Amino acid sequence: MNLKQGVTGLLFVIIGFAGAVQAESAKPLRLATTTSVENSGLLDFLLPEFKKDFPYELKVTVVGSGKALRLGRTGDVDIVWVHSPVSEKKFVDEGYGVRHKMVMRNDFVLAGPVNDPAQISTEKNILNAFKKIAATEQLFVSRGDDSGTNKKELSLWEATGIDPVGEDWYLETGQGMGASLKRAQQNGAYIMIDRATFVVRHDDPYKIIVEDADNLSNPYSVIAVDPSKQEDINFQAAINFIEWLDSPRGRLTIAGFKHNNQQLYFPVD
């Protein structure tokens, strides 16, 4: 083989590789993420930064964690960004997800009207606060949508030994976090909500009533859908997204998202 033939062959290899990269970037990255990540504004803040490094077309579906994981099971998305640890483990253990990575956390709070009709603002334990709400039959709004927030809330009610579902004072919206917060404010009701969405979207007079660091931690994870389980998964794009979130640049972007100078999410190394 002469020099001209060698150079021509190398050019074909380079062109072929560039074409493969371009084709990969042209294939959309399908992300299902929770309403709290979107309602708080983090998604709009973070995705443009990711696209500076990886110029994928992004197709984002905003749903509760339960629905996001179901979309992963059916192969309708390439990656999920959720906050439902028990359901996440089941998703991975059953072979639907790989590269499960916790990327950030914040916490849940119990919010309500400033006059605090159940008189629970002095409580330091969320279970005691829930018991008082039930005992006084004060209005409580639940998402009731199988989201990570809803699963966490129901686990706390279970820990109290109280089943509120079906009670007149317990209102299930079947909606996302922002819509449920609006419903709670309109009805003067209590609601368990992630701190970020509350800080960004609440109206006065409405405030955080109870905080409980021991029981209200709220970790968020990303999981790539296993390409061996479903066809047409854009696996490389999903891995790029996970690795970017876990990189120094990704962590700095998460930490840099603030509202009124208040940091709303905390990256996990």
Listed in sequence order, the residues at least 6 apart from 174 whose beta carbon sits closer than 8 Å to its beta carbon are: 143, 144, 145
- Is the Cβ–Cβ distance between 168 and 139 less than 8 Å? no
> 107-210 falls under which CATH superfamily?
Periplasmic binding protein-like II (3.40.190.10)
3-state secondary structure of 158: helix
Instruction: Report CA-CA distances (Å) from 238 to 21, 133, 136, 205, 225.
Output: 15, 42, 48, 42, 8
This prediction's pTM:
0.88
Q: Which helix (H) or strand (E) holds 110?
A: strand 97-113
Whether 8 shows a pLDDT value over 80: the answer reads: no
Instruction: State the SS3 of 14-73.
Output: HHHHHHHHHHHHHCCEEEEECHHHHHCCHHHHHHHHHHHHCCCCEEEEECCHHHHHHHHH
Q: Angle, to 10 degrees, between the axis of helix 65-73 and the axis of helix 85-93?
A: 10
Domain extents for the chain? Answer: 3-106+219-267, 107-210
Q: What is the distance between the alpha carbons of residues 243 and 62, in angstroms, rounded to a whole number?
A: 21
We find that the CATH architecture of domain 3-106+219-267 is 3-Layer(aba) Sandwich (3.40)
Q: Do domains 3-106+219-267 and 107-210 have the same CATH topology?
A: yes
Q: What is the distance between the alpha carbons of residues 78 and 236, in angstroms, rounded to a whole number?
A: 9
Q: What is the pLDDT of residues 158-203, one digit of tens each?
A: 999 999 999 999 999 999 999 999 999 999 999 999 999 999 999 9
Q: What is the pLDDT of residues 91-115, one digit of tens each?
A: 999 999 999 999 999 999 999 999 9
Scan for tokens 């359901």, then name that residue: 87
